[in-house]
Chain A
Amino acid sequence: MFEYGYTIIPSIVLGVLSRLSMLRIDSRQYPSYPQGTFSHLTLGIIAAALGSVAVPALAEKEFAAVTFLALAAQQFRDVRNLERQSLDNMEPTELVARGTAYIEDIAKAFEARNYMTILTSVIVSIVIFTLTQANIHKTLAILIGILIGFIAIIYFNRAISRQTIQDIADVYPAKIEFQGPLLTVNGVIIMNIGLKASREIYMKNGIAVEIIPKDENGIATLANLGQRQAIQHNAATQLGIRKDKDEPDFTPIARRDPHTGNVVMAIVSLEPDVECLVEAVKNTIVLESSKRKPLDSKAGRKAAD
């Protein structure tokens, strides 16, 4: 096998690097550190190894080995199920739920990242292998392979990076008011809060935002309940929410103005700083499964003007 060491080793290294570049540990703490991260890193190494042996296996006319590769690739589809299940199980323990759409999006991302790793490895091994077949010196072939590998990593990272809310909408601070027991933000009714003490807390510490979509695509995307749930979750986790399990009054709810498609949300956070809320909402990702593009259809374009 080590006849092909010069293709296999660089492509495994590049593959693992590509997985590492997509394995970020940030405020979301997902994948969780250290155990979750470690298992994903291990899977990444396996994926890289799979991708890098594909070309040498073909060169040796080991077609059975290639079918085994396909079988192994199937395993990565389970990554999605695994992530979905574990997030679903944790959902009741969240004060503000992530929502099924957000969970689906995270699960999809983890599956896709493993495929990116396999692809990076395959690309590097193809480049090195073909260059050496074309009688180019091995060292040079490996160097070119590594270069192409890095370009692939950058390209894939760009290709799967997702939009954030600030790309599809403007976010402004908004005003909380009560019409009797009804909590309203900029005139849009959010919910009925009966308890006077809760209303006082809202008036004193509550902050609110209005999300104004830039076009019809944004309106349709923000209408999705899963997308709004993701915004609520992000705002609550980043600002720190003033709520416990037995205080449903303070659950942040993003409601839609049915006339304009604008979305408003009020939240009582531990730190009532509206600038931070605007920032948190702006940086929420646009969920792949919530994204709608009515403007790409003929009827949608016509209806928009």
Chain B
Amino acid sequence: MDVGLKDTILAIITTDRDVVSSGSVPIFYAKDEDEKEKIALLIAKVTLGMIHDLENGCYIIVKH
């Protein structure tokens, strides 16, 4: 059986420390847009998740 976390936020990648607060989800801070894209891609490849843009400087990774 395939067991895994589905349809939940696996990670948050952000450039803006003010829009996130610590919780149960790992948060990765990026220096700029390019680094954000890169971190998001790397995490998504590992988790087989998908990157979603919240348009407030945050990317979230969700596995569907």
Is B41's CB under 8 angstroms from A195's CB? yes
Q: Which of B2, B37, B48 contacts A245 (CB 8 A)?
A: B48
Contact flag A194-B40 (CB < 8 Å), given A92-B2, A180-B55:
yes
Within 8 A of B (CB), among A188-239: 192-198
Q: Is the CB of A195 within 8 A of B55?
A: no
CB of A194 within 8 A of CB of B59, answer yes
Q: In the complex the two chains form, is A249's CB within 8 Å of B48's CB?
A: no
Find out whether the CB atom of A192 lies under 8 angstroms from the CB atom of B52: yes
A195 is contacted by which of B2, B37, B48, B63 (Cβ under 8 Å)? Answer: B37
Tell me, rounded to whole Å, the shortest Cβ–Cβ distance linking A59 to chain B: 53
For residue B45, CB closer than 8 A to chain A, the reply is yes
Contact A248 B48 (CB under 8 A): yes
Instruction: Give the distance to chain B from A95, nearest Cβ to Cβ, in Å.
Output: 13
Question: Does B27 interact with chain A (Cβ within 8 Å)?
Answer: no
Residue A26 at the chain B interface, CB threshold 8 Å: no
Contacts of A240 in B (CB 8 A): none
- CB of A246 closer than 8 Å to a CB of B: yes
Bound together, the chains give a CA A192 to CA B54 distance in angstroms of 9
Chain A 239-271 against B: per-residue CB contact (8 Å), 1 yes, 0 no? 000000110110100000000000000000000
Does B48 lie within 8 Å of A196, measured CB to CB? no
Check B64 for interface membership: any CB of A closer than 8 A.
yes
Question: Closest approach, in angstroms, between the C-beta of A192 and any C-beta of chain B?
Answer: 4
Inside 8 A of A5's CB, which chain B residues have their CB?
Answer: none
CB B26 to nearest CB in A, in angstroms, measures 16
Known: A194-B59, A195-B37, A196-B37. A180 touches B53 (CB 8 A): yes
Query: A148 to B52, alpha carbons, bound, how many Å?
Result: 62
B50 within 8 A of A: yes
Query: A253's closest neighbor in chain B, by CB?
Result: B64
B49 near A248 (CB under 8 angstroms)?
A: yes
A128 CB → nearest B CB, Å:
53
Question: A194 to B30, alpha carbons, bound, how many Å?
Answer: 15
Q: A92-B2, A194-B59, A196-B37 are in contact. Are A248 and B52 (CB under 8 A)?
A: no
Nearest CB of A to B46, in Å: 9
Given contacts A194-B59, A195-B40, A196-B37, contact A249 B51 (CB under 8 A): yes
* Contacting pair B53 A192 (CB below 8 A): yes
Q: A181 at the A/B interface (Cβ < 8 Å)?
A: yes
CB atoms of A181 and B52 under 8 A apart: yes
A199's nearest neighbour on chain B, judged by CB, is B53
Chain A residues close to B by CB (< 8 Å): 92, 180-181, 192-198, 245-246, 248-249, 251
In the complex, besides A180-B53, A194-B60, A248-B49, 13 extra interface pairs with C-beta distance below 8 angstroms are: A92-B2, A181-B53, A181-B55, A193-B50, A194-B40, A194-B50, A194-B51, A194-B53, A248-B50, A248-B63, A248-B64, A249-B51, A251-B64
The 5 A-B pairs of least Cβ separation, nearest first, read: A181-B53, A194-B51, A194-B53, A248-B50, A192-B52
Binding site for A on B (CB under 8 A): 2, 37, 40-41, 44-45, 48-53, 55, 59-60, 63-64
22 contacts between A and B (CB under 8 A): A180-B55, A181-B52, A181-B55, A192-B52, A193-B50, A193-B52, A193-B53, A194-B52, A194-B59, A194-B60, A195-B37, A195-B40, A195-B41, A195-B51, A196-B37, A197-B37, A197-B41, A246-B44, A246-B45, A248-B49, A249-B50, A249-B51
